[in-house]
Amino acid sequence: MFRRMGYNIKQAFVQIKRNKAMTFTSVLAITAMMLILGVFFVATININLFAEVVKQDFDMVELYIEEDYSLDGIKKIGLEYESDEGVSKVEFRSKEDALEIMKSRWGDNGYLLDNLGGNPLPDSLIVYVKDAETAKIIASEALDVEGVEDVKYYQETVEKLTKTTNFIQMASLVIMLFLVLVSIVVVSNTIKLTVFARSKEIRIMKYIGATNWFVRGPFFIEGIIIGLIAALVSTGLVAIIYDNIMAIIGADIIRILSVPIVPIEYLAVNLAIIFVALGVGIGSCGSVISMRRFLDK
Amino acid sequence: MIRFENVTKRYGENVGLEEVTINIAKGDFIFLVGPSGAGKSTFIKLILREIKPEEGEIYLDDMCVTQISNREVPKLRRKAGIVFQDFRLLEKKTVYENVAFAMEIIHKTKKEIRRQVPQILSLVGISDKAYKYPEELSAGEQQRVAIARAIVNNPTVLIADEPTGNLDPTTAMEIMDLLNKINRRGTTVVMVTHAKNIVDVMNKRVIAIKDGRIVRDECGLYDLVCEESSDDDTDEEDLYV
């Protein structure tokens, strides 16, 4: 069939032109399922990102250092923690750095912080741990260490959040798998209708000596084209929907809440890749599979 | 050319063909006659390898129809041009495209197609309808297109399954003239028919099948070969015009 690619592509377009209604139905079916899939996909990606951020917090304990505590003293505390086997790394964050981080998180609204009289933030040591158990121990003992003013480690909150996001991830995975399954059934049935509408044609082709791949070729290419169109349409639609939802929530609110959001450009590219692969796969395999019983003779 | 050797085909309890042996020589024009359900369709289906016999061997040219693999079936079908009672044209292709399609499937170049198709269309006498769709044509014209498609690749045999079954007597005779013309160009023609008047006029070799067996095989008239079988055939009357 690849030897006669030109013929197949030409025939595929002729078929599409002459069977507009069927082509439209197929595209619609694939687009509809991809749209639902896409919305779920985007939601899952964002939840995943959120979970990642949460997990990062889980890995670390932030120790706030008393005002005017000496740098040498801070270094000493840091080295002590670093020698702990459960600790992977200790990082020093000066109050100036802390302010910078906060400003960058607030983004365009960062200027609000410029009006502060001084820097209210403390110096801090960030202790990265290898497991939750160590984190718990460090968090409970840190207040007794000289120079440590406060400990930031929201253990229970973090655990609850992790559980929730894990559940959401699992649930959406199941729903997405289910959707893919349903859509494959719907799509292969739609294509079966297309093929059935042309079963007479296929039988004639076989009668005058066409090989199976000769008959299949144009349908195969047609399936790919239908899948491609559906992929592009649904990528566009999902991007528009995503953009609108983000606009409604408002970029400023998102930034100040420090909730991470996957940028639309990144999502669109990945969605397009996934949808094209999925669409082309479903379209081409669907056409070949649904033609089987008309060709086995 | 076409050879059946002790071919038996059964459909469960029913007999399709029973120990049939036939030899059709190159360049022959034969009529295959007999009542409905006698085994005429079975005969054609066997040649085209739509079905396989329980026993016996079938040859088309040098090809053993009963031995080839499924992959070789398209090759077999290209050796035989086929014409049906209901024409079986591709409705969404023009006359020209229908004929060209038969050449496309055997990978002929565009140049060959452009040269050959008009010649064949003119041979069957529908050059002026080349860019019409089948539904715009009369039944006789559609059958001409079907014949053009069947012979465009110069098959060794042309198999016609009741080609005049849907046509009025005048048109039917025109189609017969065309088949005769094709036969004179060297193509073997096997025609299944019920039409007594056509068989009588043509005066060719007639093979009569009844209950899966060959009951007569000789040159001449329809009556001569199956006089007693006409009453059990329901759709025969309207064909005897």
User: CB B77 to CB A207 under 8 A?
Assistant: yes
**Joined tokens for residue A20:** 């507009």
* Count of structural domains, chain B: 1
Instruction: Give the pLDDT score at A234.
Output: 92
The string of pLDDT tens digits covering residues B12-28 is 888 889 899 999 999 99
Q: Which of A122-126, A151-155, B48-52 has the lowest mean pLDDT?
A: A151-155
Which residue of chain A has the CA closest to B110?
A7
Contacts of B107 in chain A (CB under 8 A): 4
The percent of residues above 90 in pLDDT, for chain B, comes to 59
Residues near A160 by beta carbon (within 8 Å), at least 6 away in sequence? none
Average pLDDT (A34-57) is 78
Classify residue B34 by its DSSP letter.
-
Reported as a pLDDT band with limits 50, 70 and 90, residue B229 is: very low
**Most B-contacting residue of A208, A216, A294 (CB-CB within 10 A), to test interface:** A208
Residue at B114 is within a domain: yes
Is the model's pLDDT at A162 over the cut of 80?
no
- ipTM > 0.90 (yes/no): no
d(CA A31, nearest CA chain B) in Å: 27
* CB contact at 8 A, B172 and B164: yes
Is the model's pLDDT at B142 over the cut of 90?
yes
Class of domain A60-129: alpha beta
Residue at B59 is within a domain: yes
Which residue of chain A has the CA closest to B102?
A208
Contacts of A211 in chain B (CB under 8 A): 71, 74, 105
A·B CB contacts under 8 A: 44
Reported as a pLDDT band with limits 50, 70 and 90, residue B237 is: very low
Is the model's pLDDT at B225 over the cut of 70?
no
Instruction: Give the pLDDT score at B4.
Output: 93
**Separation between Cα atoms, residue A240 and residue A243, nearest integer Å:** 5
Residue at B212 is within a domain: yes
User: CB A210 to CB B89 under 8 A?
Assistant: no
Instruction: Give the pLDDT score at A154.
Output: 65
| B55-60 and B157-161 beta bridge pairing | unpaired
- In DSSP notation, chain A reads -GGGHHHHHHHHHHHHHHTHHHHHHHHHHHHHHHHHHHHHHHHHHHHHHHHHHHHHHHTEEEEEEPTT--HHHHHHHHHHHHTSTTEEEEEEE-HHHHHHHHHHHHGGGGGGGGG-SS--PPPEEEEEESSHHHHHHHHHHGGGSTTEEEEE--HHHHHHHHHHHHHHHHHHHHHHHHHHHHHHHHHHHHHHHHHHHTHHHHHHHHHTT--HHHHHHHHHHHHHHHHHHHHHHHHHHHHHHHHHHHHHH-HHHHHHTT-----HHHHHHHHHHHHHHHHHHHHHHHHHHHHHHHH--
More confident residue, B225 or B43: B43
Instruction: Give the pLDDT score at B83.
Output: 93
Using H for helix, E for strand and C for coil, what is the string for B167-210? CCHHHHHHHHHHHHHHHHCCCEEEEECCCHHHHHHHCCEEEEEE
Residue at B165 is within a domain: yes
Longest CA span, chain B: 53
Is the model's pLDDT at A7 over the cut of 60?
yes
Mean pLDDT value across chain A = 79
CATH number of domain containing B148: 3.40.50.300
Q: Which of A41-55, A77-91, A260-274, B39-53 has the lowest mean pLDDT?
A: A41-55
The string of pLDDT tens digits covering residues A75-94 is 888 888 888 877 888 888 88
Reported as a pLDDT band with limits 50, 70 and 90, residue A254 is: low
**Most A-contacting residue of B51, B73, B86, B109 (CB-CB within 10 A), to test interface:** B73
d(CA B135, nearest CA chain A) in Å: 15
CA distances from A119 to A13, A112, A177, A271 (A): 67, 13, 51, 43
Instruction: Give the pLDDT score at B180.
Output: 94
More confident residue, A41 or B97: B97
Q: CATH 3.30.70.3040 spans which residues of chain A?
A: 60-129
Q: Which domain holds residue B91?
A: 2-236
d(CA B4, nearest CA chain A) in Å: 21
